[in-house]
Amino acid sequence: MLSKKTKYAIKALVVLGKNADKPPMQISKIAEEERIPKKFLEQILLDLRNAGFLYSKKGAGGGYSLNKDPKDIFLVSIMRITDGPIAMVPCASLNFYHKCDECKQETTCGIRDVFVEVRDATLKILSETSIADVINRETTLINI
């Protein structure tokens, strides 16, 4: 399951992506528009900023704005910051690998083999889909 943290992160980035040409947007405005608890969002945006996705400005008229082109922010990167591993089992994770406690022989584990396949299928989609794509999907969906 995707954590709420990640879902909120994506939603915030989408809003900021739509807002790209305007002045910085305040936490409270994003929180209100997307119905996200403000203080929780505050932490999330900070993580995204520390990861280099956002630019922040303090003081009056401050707020957050994207630090990258929405085309260059992929869902997989966001998820790895906020949720961690993409794979469903730790032993199949590329970036957050660790051995399963009870596994005897990882190299010949059929379960792992299947979930590596699942991971790759998931990864393909998530590493090809950017914030810009999500925004495009929304406008496409509206016109159906």
Partner DNA sequence: TGCTACCCTATAGACATTATAAGAATACCG
Partner DNA sequence: CGGTATTCTTATAATGTCTATAGGGTAGCA
In whole angstroms, the minimum distance from the beta carbon of 76 to DNA comes to 17
In the bound state with its own copies, the residue whose beta carbon lies nearer, of 53 and 115, is: 115
In the bound state with its own copies, the residue whose beta carbon lies nearer, of 8 and 64, is: 8
Name which of residues 52 to 71 contact DNA (CB under 7 A).
56-64
| Cα 52 to the center of its chain, rounded Å | 13
136 near its own copies, rule: CB under 8 A: yes
Position among 5, 11, 58, 80 found at the interface with its own copies (CB under 8 A): 11
96 near DNA, rule: CB under 7 A: no
In whole angstroms, the minimum distance from the beta carbon of 58 to its own copies comes to 27
> Which amino acid is residue 86, in one-letter code?
I
21: partner contacted, choices DNA, its own copies, none (Cβ within 5-8 A by kind): none
75 near its own copies, rule: CB under 8 A: yes
Radius of gyration, CA atoms only, the chain: 18
Give contact residues for DNA (rule: CB under 7 A): 3-5, 8, 24, 26-28, 37-40, 42-43, 45-46, 49-50, 56-64, 83-84
